[in-house]
Structure 1
Amino acid sequence: ACQAMLASLVLLLGLPLALAAEPPTCAPLIPVTFNNATVPGILGQWVYIGGASKYKPHLAELEAVKHAVFSFSPGSHEDELNATETMRVNETCVTKNTTKIHIFRHNSTLVHVDDQVSSMAELIQSDKDLFILKHLNNNFLSLSLSARTPNVSKEHLEEFKAHLHCLGFGEEEIFFTSEKEACPLPGEKTGEGSAEQQLE
Structure 2
Amino acid sequence: MLASLTLLLGLPLALAAEGPSCPPLVTVTFDNATIPGLLGQWTYIAAASRYPPHLKEIKAVKYEIFSFSPGSHEDELNVTEIIRLNETCVVQNTGKIQVFWHNSTLEFVNNEVTSASRLIQSDKDLLIMKHINDDLPSLSLSARTFNVSKEHLEEFKAYMRCLGFTEDEMFFTSEKDACPLPEEKTGEDKVEPQLG
**Partner in structure 2 of residue 68 of structure 1:** 64
Backbone CA RMSD of aligned residues:
2.2
Deviation at 1:190, TM superposition (A): 4.4
CA contact (8 A) 1:62 1:175 kept: yes
Q: Output the CA distance in 1 between the equivalents of 2:150 and 2:63.
A: 19
Q: Output the CA distance in 1 between the equivalents of 2:53 and 2:107.
A: 20
**Partner in structure 2 of residue 7 of structure 1:** 9
Q: Output the CA distance in 2 between the equivalents of 1:10 and 1:119.
A: 43
**Partner in structure 1 of residue 38 of structure 2:** 42
CA contact (8 A) 1:32 1:125 kept: yes
Structure 1 letter corresponding to 2:54: H
**Partner in structure 2 of residue 93 of structure 1:** 89
Instruction: Find the residue that maps to 2:24 and give its secondary structure.
Output: coil
Structure 1 letter corresponding to 2:23: A
Q: 1:110 aligns with which of 103, 106, 109?
A: 106
Q: 1:175 aligns with which of 166, 171, 175?
A: 171
Q: 1:83 aligns with which of 76, 79, 84?
A: 79
CA contact (8 A) 2:95 2:111 kept: no
Aligned length: 185
Structure 1 letter corresponding to 2:37: G
Deviation at 1:14, TM superposition (A): 7.7
Q: Output the CA distance in 2 between the equivalents of 1:91 and 1:176.
A: 16
CA contact (8 A) 2:94 2:111 kept: no
CA contact (8 A) 1:120 1:135 kept: yes
Q: Output the CA distance in 2 between the equivalents of 1:116 and 1:57.
A: 13
CA contact (8 A) 1:109 1:122 kept: yes
Paired-residue identity, %:
64
TM-score relative to the length of structure 2? 0.85
Instruction: Find the residue that maps to 2:183 and give its secondary structure.
Output: coil
Q: 1:149 aligns with which of 145, 155, 169?
A: 145
Q: 1:166 aligns with which of 162, 168, 183?
A: 162
TM-score relative to the length of structure 1? 0.84
Q: Output the CA distance in 1 between the equivalents of 2:94 and 2:32.
A: 22
Deviation at 1:26, TM superposition (A): 1.1
Structure 2, unaligned runs of 5 or more: 188-196
Structure 1, unaligned runs of 5 or more: 20-24, 192-200
Flag the 1:190–1:106 CA change in 2: closer, same or farther, 3 A: same
Deviations 1:88-115 (A, max 9, x none): 0000001001421111011111011111
